Every structure is written in structure tokens, then in C-alpha cells.
């Protein structure tokens, strides 16, 4: 398998980042043996903080003994020095909302099937908007990639990074060290969908299976019951707009005598 990352850049970054994470987090890692030691694999994780790419990478690299590969926003690759380092680390650029997103998906497919990489995806596409930080409704790209390539999908859930860096803020709370829990489950069973046409229904059902696995693992970490209905931002917006509409037959602008 082709090595995607530069060995010397990788060594420098690891030497810098690992001591920092060890100093500011108290790790609780579970399910490390569920991560395959070789071959292409999709790591599907929930997303609750801008700090969790580092903590999930830490878990994958040290616990799973795999080099983490992400699809990263194209803008990161344009930043002087940072962009060069990111590219040298084998990360995959993606420009959202364009044909480049399709290109990034194809590069991720090559990374999985040709390079045998462990590629980390956030199926939700962004940090969760669930008020209680449960995983929310996801996009179908990860399910499509899994069914197209046939590589295993390892569900990974984590909890605690929100105390280190809450979403929507830039305030790091480094001390005292925060407990960060990360757990990997067994491969998601997608066998029922592998021989099916990649219809919207198939992709939605496969995506739901992936997100259920992630949510169940996070529930174990939190020691709580997950919500009966997964949070869906689109549904929430629709319900909010609908609730503001006047009742049928009521002319809100009319004058009543």
C-alpha cells in the first residue's frame, strides 16, 4: 500500500501534538481492538467540538495504531505553512457545495481502496446542533462510500471535548485536564444494503444504521438514554416556520370589524 503521509512531517507533528493532548486531557479509551490494524477502513464519528479531530486522531493513532486521514476544508490547504503540512500529512481537501466535493469523495475512495488508509468521517457534516449534544441527522455520503468500496465502517463515539472547547466559542479550557472518552464499536452491519441499488431509501437506511451505532456507543459513555427521535435541523427549521404561519383561512393582514 502507498504511504500517503510524509514520514518526517508525521514524526514532527506527533512529537508536538501528543504531549499537549496528554497534558490537557485524561483519556478513557475503549474498543481499541475493534479498529482493524491494516486495510482500508472508514472511521465514522460524531462531531461535538472543534477539538475532537485531535482527540479522535489521538485515539486512532495510539490506540488503533492507524494513521488518521481526514477530508478537510479546502481553505485549510491555502493557509501558508499549515496547508503544506496538512497536505504532507496525507489529508484530503474538499470544497463544499461544488464539483470538488465529488472529487474529494473519489480521492477518499482511492485512499481506502488503493492506499489502505483509515479515513475519518463526520457523517453529520458539522458539529451537532442537538441541544444536548447527541448525534444528529446525517448526510448519506459515508454510507454511499461504504457501500461502493465494501470497506468496513467502524463507529466511534466520544464525549468530553465540549468541556475543552465548546462549539461556537474560541475559549480553550486547558486546565484542569478534561476527561475525554472515546470508544470504537464493531463494524456496522451493512450486509442488508450491499447488494441493493444505491437508491435514496437504501442510503438513508444505511446512514441510519451507522448513526444508531454511534449514538448507542455515546449513550454507553454518557450513561444516559439517547432521545427517541434523532435531532434533524431541517425538520426543526420546518416546524419553526410552520408554527409561525397563520391558521388556514385566516387573513393575517385583513381588518376585522
- Closest by CA to 178, choosing from 13, 20, 14, 15, is 20
Which cell is 28 given?
Answer: 478513557
- Cα 198 to the chain's mean position, in Å? 22
The domain over range 7-244 is classified in CATH as 3.90.550.10: no
Judged by DSSP in three states, 186 sits in coil
Beta bridge partners of 42: 119, 153
Domain boundaries, the chain: 7-244
Q: Which cell goes with 32? A: 481499541
Listed in sequence order, the DSSP H helices in 126-231 are 141-149, 191-194, 200-222
Residues listed for the chain: 257
The pLDDT of residue 244: 65
Enter the C-alpha cell of residue 248: 388556514
Residues 44-79, buried b or exposed e (16+ Cβ, 10 A)?
A: bbbbbbbbbbbbbbbbbbbbbebbbbbbbeeebbee
Q: Partners of 182 in the beta sheet?
A: 29, 158
pLDDT in tens, the chain (257 residues): 667 788 899 999 999 999 999 999 999 999 999 999 999 999 999 999 999 999 999 999 999 999 999 887 777 778 888 888 888 888 887 766 555 566 777 888 999 999 999 999 999 988 999 999 999 999 999 999 999 999 999 999 999 999 999 998 888 898 899 999 999 999 999 999 998 999 999 999 999 999 999 999 999 999 999 999 999 988 777 666 776 655 554 543 434 33
Q: pTM value?
A: 0.87
Secondary structure class of 136 (helix, strand, coil): strand
Place of cell 470504537: 184
Q: What is the distance between the alpha carbons of residues 173 and 179, in angstroms, rounded to a whole number? A: 12
Amino acid at each position: 500500500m502507498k504511504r500517503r503521509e510524509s514520514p518526517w512531517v508525521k514524526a514532527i507533528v506527533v512529537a508536538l501534538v501528543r504531549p499537549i493532548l496528554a497534558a490537557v486531557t485524561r483519556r478513557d479509551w475503549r474498543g481499541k481492538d475493534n479498529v482493524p490494524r491494516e486495510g482500508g477502513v472508514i472511521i465514522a464519528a460524531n462531531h461535538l467540538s472543534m477539538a475532537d479531530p485531535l482527540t479522535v486522531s489521538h485515539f486512532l493513532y495510539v490506540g488503533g495504531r492507524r494513521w488518521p486521514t481526514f477530508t478537510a476544508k479546502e481553505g485549510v490547504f491555502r493557509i501558508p505553512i499549515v496547508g503544506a503540512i496538512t497536505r504532507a500529512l496525507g489529508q484530503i481537501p474538499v470544497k463544499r457545495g461544488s464539483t470538488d466535493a465529488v472529487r474529494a469523495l473519489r480521492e477518499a475512495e482511492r485512499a481506502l481502496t488503493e492506499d489502505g488508509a483509515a479515513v475519518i468521517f463526520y457523517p453529520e457534516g458539522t458539529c451537532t446542533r442537538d441541544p444536548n449534544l447527541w448525534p444528529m441527522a446525517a448526510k448519506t455520503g459515508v454510507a454511499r462510500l461504504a457501500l461502493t468500496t465494501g470497506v468496513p465502517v467502524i463507529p466511534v463515539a466520544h464525549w468530553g471535548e465540549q468541556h475543552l472547547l465548546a462549539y461556537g466559542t474560541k475559549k480553550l479550557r486547558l486546565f484542569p485536564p478534561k476527561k475525554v472518552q472515546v470508544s470504537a464499536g464493531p463494524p456496522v452491519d451493512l450486509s442488508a444494503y450491499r447488494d441493493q441499488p444505491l437508491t435514496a431509501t437504501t442510503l438513508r437506511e444505511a446512514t441510519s444504521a451507522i448513526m444508531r451505532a454511534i449514538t448507542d456507543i455515546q449513550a454507553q459513555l454518557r450513561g444516559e438514554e439517547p432521545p427517541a427521535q434523532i435531532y434533524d435541523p431541517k425538520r426543526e427549521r420546518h416546524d419553526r416556520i410552520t408554527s409561525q404561519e397563520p391558521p388556514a383561512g385566516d387573513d393575517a393582514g385583513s381588518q376585522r370589524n
